[in-house]
Amino acid sequence: MRFRLACLLAVLVAAPLAAAHAESYPTRPVKIISAQAPGSSVDILARLIGGKLSEAWGQQVIVENRPGANAIIGMEAAARAKPDGYTLAMAVPSAMTMNPFIYKALPYKPLTDFVPITQTTAITFVMFVTPSLPATSVAELIALARAKPGVLNYSSAGIGNQTHLAGALFAAQAGVSMTHVPNKGETQAVLDVLSGETQLMFSTMPIATPHIKAGKLRLLAVCGAERSQEFPDTPTLSEAGLPGLVIAGWTGILAPTGVAPEIVAQIQAQVARVLAAPEVRASLAQQGAAPVGSTPTEFAALIQAETKKWGPVIEAAGLAMSQ
């Protein structure tokens, strides 16, 4: 009986303390780990959100880039951080829903090592080529690839990254053979297409748009289910002759498992307010990203659904590794 009373007293004492802690959060700088390279679309988004959170909270929000190993380095660091709400992570599909099928010894567990806070955006993927390539449409590219099997090279941000799997899916559905050239991050992969070292890439619209508008990259298709408002004259992959082929990205914010639910709720609410701001929505629209601001439950459901979607694709492509 004494033990039960002691436990009850501990709970009654701890509850107000936890609530008070949540109400005062944050009392010091907050770090957002981006497992992508500086200048990547994810990095741009993290800094946009981080800057607005800094203004709202009156505390500095620092974006720490920890790229490498297909986001494993950054995600492992985030998973091992103290679960106090002061270390967050930007999540992307490759890190959360693809790596588990590719790396057998993955040093973090996406579904148990993190608490989903909110999906921040839905991101449009685009297909582009270097302007020197003699292909001005998806049909012409497919014809060129069929005429020269394995000669065309496509960039990706790394093996198993969504930019890689997008190319693999395209090649399979189009019935062509292309050579995959993995790189250390999305930014460098795009630079390879800009320089002509590789001929094409499937990438997120935010990082590609400036180069497309400058005429340094040639846009062939939008990979979403609908055309982009930014490029209304560009067809989708389905319209270009590959029905049903849709490639879409997303981003979200996570915390290490163990963060107090009150703090998770507070972060989600503030990020949702940031994403609802007209200037933020306008900035995202120009980059091919749509704001979301979902609940933790909704974001968790998305991660689980995406995991079920990509697992069979990766296994069918023979991308599983032994490490």
Q: Which residue has the tokens 């929000």?
A: 61
DSSP, collapsed to helix, strand or coil, labels residue 24 as helix
Helix crossing, 41-57 with 278-286: angle to 10°? Answer: 170
C-alpha–C-alpha distance, residues 200 and 130, integer Å:
6
DSSP states of 48-99: HHHHHHHHHHTS-EEEEE---TTTHHHHHHHHTS-SSSSEEEEE-HIIIIIH
pLDDT digits (tens, 9 = 90+) for 11-53: 444 445 444 455 789 999 999 999 988 988 789 899 999 999 9
Q: Are 223 and 202 in contact (CB under 8 A)?
A: yes
Q: Is residue 234 part of a domain?
A: no
**In this structure, what are the phi and psi dihedrals at residue 248, rounded to the nearest 5 degrees?**
-130, 145
On average, the pLDDT of the chain sits at 90
**Residue 125, beta-bridge partner list:** 204
Q: Are 214 and 207 in contact (CB under 8 A)?
A: no
Q: Report the number of distinct structural domains present in the chain.
A: 2
* Same domain (yes/no): 259, 297: yes
Sign of CA dihedral 106, 109, 111, 113: negative
The reported pLDDT for the residue numbered 230 is 85
CATH of residue 137: 3.40.190.10
Q: Which residue has the tokens 């607005």?
A: 52
Q: Is residue 154 part of a domain?
A: yes
Among 258, 300, 260, 274, smallest CA distance to 117 is for: 300
Q: Residue 248's pLDDT band (boundaries 50, 70, 90)?
A: confident
The reported pLDDT for the residue numbered 296 is 98
Average pLDDT over residues 186-201: 95
Of 5 and 248, more confident: 248
* Same domain (yes/no): 130, 218: yes
Average pLDDT over residues 68-92: 95
Residues in the chain: 323
* Same domain (yes/no): 171, 255: no
pLDDT digits (tens, 9 = 90+) for 145-185: 999 999 999 999 888 888 998 998 899 899 999 999 999 88
C-alpha–C-alpha distance, residues 208 and 219, integer Å:
9
Give me the percent of the chain exceeding a pLDDT of 70: 92
Q: Is residue 179 part of a domain?
A: yes
pLDDT digits (tens, 9 = 90+) for 207-240: 899 999 999 999 999 998 899 888 999 999 999 9
pLDDT digits (tens, 9 = 90+) for 267-297: 999 999 999 999 999 988 877 789 999 999 9
CATH of residue 72: 3.40.190.150
Report field, pTM of the whole predicted structure over 0.85: no
* Same domain (yes/no): 88, 135: no
Residue 111 region by backbone torsions, left for phi larger than 0, else alpha for psi between -120 and 50, else beta: alpha
C-alpha–C-alpha distance, residues 24 and 228, integer Å:
41
* Same domain (yes/no): 100, 129: no
Residue 190 has pLDDT above 80, yes or no: yes
* Same domain (yes/no): 105, 56: yes
Q: Residue 313's pLDDT band (boundaries 50, 70, 90)?
A: confident
Give the range of the structural domain holding residue 187, as residue numbers without chain letter: 124-222
C-alpha–C-alpha distance, residues 88 and 266, integer Å:
13
* Same domain (yes/no): 103, 142: no
* Same domain (yes/no): 35, 117: yes
* Same domain (yes/no): 113, 258: yes
Among 63, 59, 218, 51, smallest CA distance to 134 is for: 218
Residue 316 has pLDDT above 60, yes or no: yes
Q: Is residue 165 part of a domain?
A: yes
